[in-house]
Amino acid sequence: MSAAPASPHPAEASSSSSSSSSSSSTSPAPASSNAPDPSLVPEAILNSPSVDVSASTTFRINAPPTDRAVRIYCDGIYDLFHYGHAKALEQAKKAFPNVHLLVGVCNDRETHKRKGKTVMVDHERYESVRHCKWVDQVIPDAPWIITQAFIDEHQIDYVAHDDIPYAAGDVADVYAFVKAQGRFLPTKRTDGISTSDLITRIVRDYDEYLRRNLNRGVSPQELNIGYFKEKRLRVAQQVMELQTEIKSELAEWKDEWKETVKTWEDKSAGYVKGFVSMFQKGVKLLRIRSPTGSRPTSPSVPQKRRRASDDDGDDGDEGDDMDADENGHEDRQRGRRHDADADEGESDESPIDPPPVLSPPPRNTRQQKQQQQPKQQQQRPSKRRRQG
């Protein structure tokens, strides 16, 4: 800043020194070496909940008035008004029980000349600050450097700001004049948020904000971009939408796969147990119905029927064949009854049955027939003689 701060009036300096001496006589002794000097900080400032007295060791602070509201002034650009600005104003408003907070906002002409272009124009910044609940009065077109005339005009008791020196041009600290008068009230700066940080975020994500405004219907001319820049941004937007859709489908597929795997893990034990039980029953049934597992029939089975006439050898053969068929039919019926008895007597206690004891197969009925034929031939002559 090229302008230098005005020197304080002699009457103002004498009043400041007298108030400082009176406050130092009533201030308590410091409790420790890190505590502020009581000759510089009055008791009312030490008891303030929002004043940062840790930085007040280098300058004195006047005692506040007790017969009226304390008039505290804050100044700034307040571009992109954020919560860091609001917390600074809150500290100034809560410095004393009764405070009238005045906030000065610099205009565009002064700001653009000394600091640079702003995002918001001056009247927008005035309205942003005016709608903060901690502010009692907004002073537009505020001076960049506070002068004694400005302090007298607005009857300012304190100027609240963080204690970091604020340089401007050839001036190392624009608040040095206020600190020399004992009217500077230090507040705590909010870290992590600033107008410069917000602008940096916008510049870093410049293309994304351009796509956002194009999608909302803002023309390329309003965004100050060319034809090819617009087309490139729109293609990038389509690619991003496709990537988002693919990621969403993959995430959905992964969820379904996890659910399927979980269901199989929960039910796999029951599936395996049921399959093993069914397999064991099938093996038992096959062993029972196999030829080696059937109960053998007795070789000495009485013949049910015999033909009475022994006319010739053919008749005897036919009768023997009928007897053999009847014996085979009885064997099959006996085998079926045996299978039914085995099914009813089946038990789960012995999953593997012992092999059955094999007996010699029954003698062929034809052998019996051949053995009986000589007897019949011997008996035939006697029958004929009796008939004759």
Q: What is the pLDDT along the chain (388 residues), one digit of tens a residue?
A: 333 333 334 333 333 333 333 333 333 333 334 455 556 677 777 777 777 766 555 778 888 998 999 999 999 999 999 999 999 999 999 999 999 999 999 999 999 998 899 999 999 999 999 999 999 999 999 999 999 999 999 999 999 998 888 887 778 888 988 999 999 998 888 888 999 999 999 899 988 888 888 888 999 888 888 888 888 888 888 888 888 888 888 888 888 888 888 777 777 777 777 777 777 777 777 777 666 545 545 444 444 455 545 455 554 455 555 555 555 556 666 666 655 555 555 544 445 555 555 555 555 566 666 666 655 555 555 545 555 4
Dihedral sign of CA atoms 104, 110, 111, 115 in order: negative
Place of tokens 């092999």: 355
Tokens of 41: 């900080």
| 213 and 232 assigned to the same domain | yes
| 69 and 135 assigned to the same domain | yes
Q: Which range of residues forms the domain containing residue 127?
A: 43-191
* Cα distance between residue 342 and residue 116, in whole Å: 104
Question: What contacts 122, CB < 8 A, 6 or more positions away?
Answer: 105, 106, 107, 108, 111, 140
What integer pLDDT is reported at residue 96 of this predicted model? 92
Residue at which a domain ends, from 144, 175, 191? 191
What integer pLDDT is reported at residue 137 of this predicted model? 96
CA nearest 185: which of 28, 99, 56, 70?
A: 56
What integer pLDDT is reported at residue 101 of this predicted model? 97
Kindly state whether residue 20 falls inside one of the protein's structural domains: no
Kindly state whether residue 380 falls inside one of the protein's structural domains: no
What integer pLDDT is reported at residue 171 of this predicted model? 80
Kindly state whether residue 32 falls inside one of the protein's structural domains: no
Secondary structure of residue 266 in the 3-state scheme? helix
| 119 and 239 assigned to the same domain | no
| 177 and 266 assigned to the same domain | no
| 93 and 141 assigned to the same domain | yes
What integer pLDDT is reported at residue 242 of this predicted model? 86
Residue at which a domain ends, from 147, 164, 191? 191
Residue at which a domain ends, from 151, 172, 191? 191
The dihedrals phi and psi of 66, each to the nearest 5 degrees, come to -115, -10
| 233 and 164 assigned to the same domain | no
Residue 129 near residue 105, CB atoms below 8 Å: yes
List, in sequence order, every residue forming a beta bridge with 162; answer none if it has no partner. 187
What integer pLDDT is reported at residue 380 of this predicted model? 56
Kindly state whether residue 69 falls inside one of the protein's structural domains: yes
Q: How many domains does the chain have?
A: 2
Distance of CA 243 to the CA centre of its chain: 20
Place of tokens 């903060």: 132
| 182 and 211 assigned to the same domain | no
Kindly state whether residue 316 falls inside one of the protein's structural domains: no
* Cα distance between residue 209 and residue 215, in whole Å: 10
Kindly state whether residue 235 falls inside one of the protein's structural domains: yes
* Cα distance between residue 378 and residue 388, in whole Å: 17
Kindly state whether residue 109 falls inside one of the protein's structural domains: yes
